[in-house]
Amino acid sequence: MLKGIFSPDNPVFRFFIKLGYCWWLNILWLVTSIPIITIGASTTALIYSAMKLQNDEGHPTGNFFRSFKENFRQSTIIWLIYLVAGALLALAAVYWNQVPDAGGFIFHGAAFALILLYVISFSYVFAIQSKFVNSVKDTIHYSFILPFRNLKETILILITLGAVVYLNVTTIFMVNFWTMNLGIGLMAYLFGVFYANVFKRYIPEDDEEEEVEGTFG
C-alpha cells in the first residue's frame, strides 16, 4: 500500500512533489532577487524553470541557474528599462492626479492607460526572454504584441495578478507570508501554463524543447 502511495505515477504524490518544487523555485527567486538589480534575471529563470517543471524536464535547480546565467545580461537590461519606465509613469500619475483642472484629468487618464499597457508588457517580457533568442529591443517589442494576439491568456494573467496584489494589500499578514514563501512559485507555474499555450503557436514542433529565435510574424 505504501509503495502505491509513493509511486511516481500516483497523482497525489506527483502533486505534492510539484508543490515542493514550486516552493523551492520561490525560495531561489527570493534569494537571487535580493540584490534588486538581479530581479530581471531571477524572474526569467523562475518562469523558465516553471515551464520546464510542467513536463518534468530536467531539475528545477539546474534549470533555474542555467537560465539565470544565460539570460543575465539581457534580463538585467530589460529590468532596468522597466524599472525606470515604471518609476516615471508612477510619478506622472501622481503629479497629474493633483492637478485639479480638466487637463490634469485628461493627462492622469493617459498616464493610467500607459500604466496598464506597461503592466501588460511587463507580464510577458521576461517569459519571452526565457524562451526566445532576440535582442532586447525585439523582446520588448514582442511583449507589446503577443498579449493582444492572445487575449484569453492575457486576461487570465491580469486577473490573477490583480487578485494577488489586491489580497496582499487589503488582507492580513498571513497572505503576504504565503505569497512570499510559496505564492510566487505557484503563480510562475500557473503563468507557465498560459505562456506555454501562447508560445506553442509560434514555435515549430521540432524546436519546442529549446530556446528559439522568435519573430511572431
pLDDT of residue 73: 97
Closest listed residue to residue 188, CA positions, set 66, 46, 63: 46
pLDDT of residue 157: 96
Answer for the pair 182, 159: CB distance below 8 angstroms, yes or no.
no
Q: Where are the domains of the chain?
A: 10-207
Residue 143 CB contacts under 8 Å (≥ 6 apart), including other chains: 121, 122, 124, 125, 128
Residue 129 CB contacts under 8 Å (≥ 6 apart), including other chains: 44, 71, 74, 75, 78, 139
- Point out the residues of the chain with pLDDT beneath 50: 1-2
How do residues 69-83 score in pLDDT, each as one tens digit?
A: 999 999 999 999 999
- Rounded alpha-carbon distances, angstroms, from residue 19 to 54, 110, 140, 188: 11, 41, 31, 12
